């Protein structure tokens, strides 16, 4: 009888103890409690953001970025750096929780994506992100997430119904993950601080027809890893934007528990209601961004944003169609192998 791998949740508990000890020293030992108290709104916002991070394929920056940039009117560059910083705690905490519970992951694709992100994210931060104006950072974020939201509003039933995962070939999966990590890390994530998790998840559910129980934990782990790469590279080069550290101090103790809580609770209530709720938020933030930036964008810019969302959804549908072809081919090959294995040997008795 096949035994389930033994869970080692004590590893996550040890991480939590070390984190809170370090955070307490930073806050109380360095006299930063006043800053933490002054930034309580972001801690409150990230209580919801960290749950979203652990229960959906979107990082905590998906909530943190629009809260800081659209609601608090902070610079888009601060929203991006804060996303990296807060996810380096929340998504990493969620990742440790997932790994300690031995949840299934798409390992071949994940390894490729991690290698791609390790190269692509620093390149994007160094060479692409400085060229993107603040307005277009907001627009890129709004368009990509709106496309994702629209896809789930009408495909969530199909996506939630997948079971297991179609593994085409370990080397093929690795190469696809490598392209995702390199491309998404260099573009979307380097510019907005989030996104590689959503791209990898989309490839898994549309191309590989992966179960959400595999796709979402895999997306959490890749975002945690990429956030560590991003925040480390920023600290070693240009440094983080002013204000990031204070917001991080306030939000970190919340997200350290919130993301793992999302991982745990979503297994009890199901992923479909959460995905639908987040999909509505994705479309809502797009409308909010377009309304707030209508003067800067103009009629042509607003039309371009809507067309860009349509193009994103069209791209997702093409990926889904390609996935259907690949899955069909994979099933046909498997059936042929089974037939060949069980076919009677030629030249039997009496031949």
What pLDDT sits at residue 113? 98
Question: Model confidence at 349, in pLDDT bands (50, 70, 90)?
Answer: very low
Question: Quick check: is 185 in a domain?
Answer: no
Residue 322 lies in a domain: yes
Is residue 3 in some structural domain? no
Give, in order, the Cα–Cα distances in Å from 51 to each of 25, 48, 142: 26, 5, 20
Q: Which DSSP string do the residues of 111-124 spell out, in sequence order?
A: HHHHHHHHHHHHHI
Chain CA centroid to CA 98, Å: 14
Rounded CA gap, 286 and 177, in Å? Answer: 28
Q: Average pLDDT in the 152-160 region?
A: 89
How confident is the model over 39-67, as a mean pLDDT? 77
**pLDDT at position 267:** 67
CB atoms within 10 A of CB 126: 15
Domain hosting 294: range is: 10-23+38-105+133-167+193-331
With respect to residue 337, please indicate whether it lies within any of the assigned structural domains: no
Task: Answer yes or no: is 117 within a domain.
Answer: no
Is residue 138 domain-resident? yes
Overall number of domains in the chain = 1
What percent of the chain has a predicted confidence (pLDDT) above 90? 54
Q: Is residue 113 part of a domain?
A: no
Per-residue model confidence (pLDDT) at position 2: 45
| Average pLDDT of span 232-242 | 93
The whole-angstrom separation of Cα 156 and Cα 226 is 26
In a domain, residue 175? The reply is no
**Could you tell me if 237 and 72 are in contact, meaning their C-beta atoms sit under 8 angstroms apart?**
no
């Amino acid at each position: 009888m096949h035994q389930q791998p033994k869970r080692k949740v004590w590893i996550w508990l040890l991480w939590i103890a070390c984190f809170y000890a370090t955070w307490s020293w930073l806050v109380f030992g360095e006299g930063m409690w006043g800053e933490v108290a002054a930034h309580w709104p972001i801690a409150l916002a990230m209580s919801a953001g960290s749950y979203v991070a652990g229960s959906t394929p979107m990082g905590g920056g998906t909530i943190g970025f629009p809260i800081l940039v659209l609601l608090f009117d902070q610079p888009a560059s601060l929203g991006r750096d804060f996303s990296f910083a807060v996810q380096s705690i929340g998504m990493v905490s969620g990742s440790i929780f997932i790994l300690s519970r031995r949840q299934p992951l798409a390992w071949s694709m994940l390894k490729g994506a991690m290698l791609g992100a390790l190269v692509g994210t620093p390149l994007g931060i160094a060479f692409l992100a400085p060229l993107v104006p603040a307005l277009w950072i907001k627009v890129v974020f709004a368009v990509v997430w709106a496309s994702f939201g629209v896809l789930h509003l009408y495909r969530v039933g199909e996506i939630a119904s997948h079971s297991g995962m179609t593994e085409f070939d370990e080397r093929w999966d690795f190469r696809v993950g490598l392209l995702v990590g390199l491309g998404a890390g260099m573009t979307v994530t380097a510019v907005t601080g989030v996104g590689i998790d959503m791209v990898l998840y989309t490839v898994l559910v549309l191309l590989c027809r992966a179960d959400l129980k595999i796709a979402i934990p895999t997306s959490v782990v890749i975002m945690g890893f990429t956030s560590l790469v991003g925040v480390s590279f920023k600290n070693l080069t240009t440094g983080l934007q002013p204000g990031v550290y204070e917001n991080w101090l306030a939000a970190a103790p919340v997200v350290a528990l919130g993301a793992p809580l999302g991982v745990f609770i979503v297994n009890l209530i199901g992923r479909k209601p959460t995905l639908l709720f987040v999909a509505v938020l994705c479309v809502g933030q797009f409308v909010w961004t377009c309304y707030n930036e209508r003067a800067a964008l103009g009629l042509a810019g607003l039309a371009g944003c809507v067309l860009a969302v349509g193009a994103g959804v069209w791209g997702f549908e093409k990926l889904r169609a390609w996935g259907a072809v690949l899955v069909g081919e994979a099933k046909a090959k498997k059936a042929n192998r089974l037939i060949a294995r069980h076919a009677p040997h030629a030249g039997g008795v009496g031949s």
